[in-house]
Amino acid sequence: MSRRLILILLLALAASAPAAAQKTPQARSIGKRMMCMCGCNQVLTECNHVGCTVSAEMLAKLDQQVARSEPEDLTIQAFVQEYGQKVLAQPPSTGFGALAWITPGLAAALGTMIVWTLLVRWRRQTATAAPATVAPEVLARVRRELDEENEA
């Protein structure tokens, strides 16, 4: 097959690449709550990676369901039925998915507790520390730092 023929076939393929414009803003809004199932790890309405046929199919189906005026949650549920929970763009707040939401909060609480404990402990150490004799080199460093602070 000649090179030119291959090129023509490819152009024809490219021209038929599915790129349906979504019909309604509601469809676009729902589409942003779901992931493309081709494995690209992109939000459904944002998946435009080369050769993706899955997102085109999903978007067409979404348009159809929105056109039938089905409630938003029911539409999403239909996709969950077909593709599983993986289709949701964020983990559910119940079941095992809740762990994803809890982890950052737990880390924040734990981290704050540790930092606060450290600060209080260091403050206490400083308050109870006996006045120490200061080594000349430490004194020189402090003086230099103070000079820098003042100059700046």
Partner 1 sequence: MALVCAIYAIVAGIAGIGTRHPLLIKSARNAGMAVCLLVTLATACLVSLFLADDFSLAYVAGHSNRDLPVFYKFAALWSGQEGSLLFWSWLLSIYAFIALFANRKRHPELMPYVGVVLACVQLFFLLLNVFAAGPFSVLAAPSEGGALQVVAPADGRGLNPLLQYPEMVIHPPTLYLGYVGFTVPFAFALAALLGRYPGEKWIHITRRWTMVAWCFQSLGILLGAHWAYAVLGWGGYWGWDPVENASLMPWLTGTAFLHSVMMQEKRGMMKAWNFWLVFTTFGLCILGTMLTRSGVVSSVHAFAQSSIGPWFAGFLAFILAVCLAAYLKNRDYLRSDNQLDSLVSRESSFLFNNLILLLACVAVISGTLFPVLTEAVQGTQISVGPPFFNKVNIPIGLFLLFLTGVGPLLAWRKTSLDSLKRNFAWPLIGGLVFGAICIAQGARDFYAAVSLTLSGFVALTIASEFWRGASVIRARTGSGFLAAVGQLTMRNTRRYGGYVVHFAMVLIFIGLAGAAFNQDKQLEMQPGSRLDIGPYTLVLQAFTSPPPETPNYSAERASIEALREGRPLMMLYPERRTFPASEVTSTMVAIHSTLNEDLYVVYAGRSPENGQPVIHAYLNPLVKWIWLGGVVLMLGTGLALLPNRQPAFAIVRAAQPEIALAPAEGVAAAVPQGSLRSGD
CB atoms within 10 A of CB 55: 25
72-83 helix and 54-67 helix, angle to the nearest 10 degrees: 150
Total of chain residues touching partner 1, rule CB under 8 A: 67
Q: Which is nearer to partner 1, 74 or 143 (CB)?
A: 143
The Cβ of residue 107 has, within 10 Å, a number of other Cβ atoms equal to 10
Of 54, 24, 49, which Cα lies nearest the Cα of 38?
54
Q: Does 151 bind partner 1 (CB under 8 A)?
A: yes
Q: Which is nearer to partner 1, 7 or 74 (CB)?
A: 7
Task: Evaluate whether 71 touches 55 at the Cβ level (below 8 Å).
Answer: no
| Residue 111 near partner 1 by CB under 8 A | yes
Least separation, in Å, of the C-beta of 120 and partner 1?
A: 8
Asked whether position 24 contacts partner 1 by CB under 8 A, the answer is no
Cβ at position 103, least distance to partner 1 in Å? 4
Query: Looking only at Cα atoms, what is the longest distance across the chain?
Result: 91
> For residue 39, what is the enclosing H or E element?
none
Q: Does residue 125 bind partner 1 (CB under 8 A)? A: yes
Pick out residues in 46-105 that bind partner 1 (CB under 8 A).
46-51, 56, 84-92, 96-97, 99-101, 103-104
79, with CB counted inside 10 A (0-12, 13-18, 19+), is: buried
The binding site for partner 1 (CB under 8 A) comprises 3, 6-7, 10-11, 13-22, 28, 32-33, 35, 39-43, 46-51, 56, 84-92, 96-97, 99-101, 103-104, 107-108, 111-112, 115, 118-119, 121-123, 125-126, 129, 144-145, 147-149, 151-152
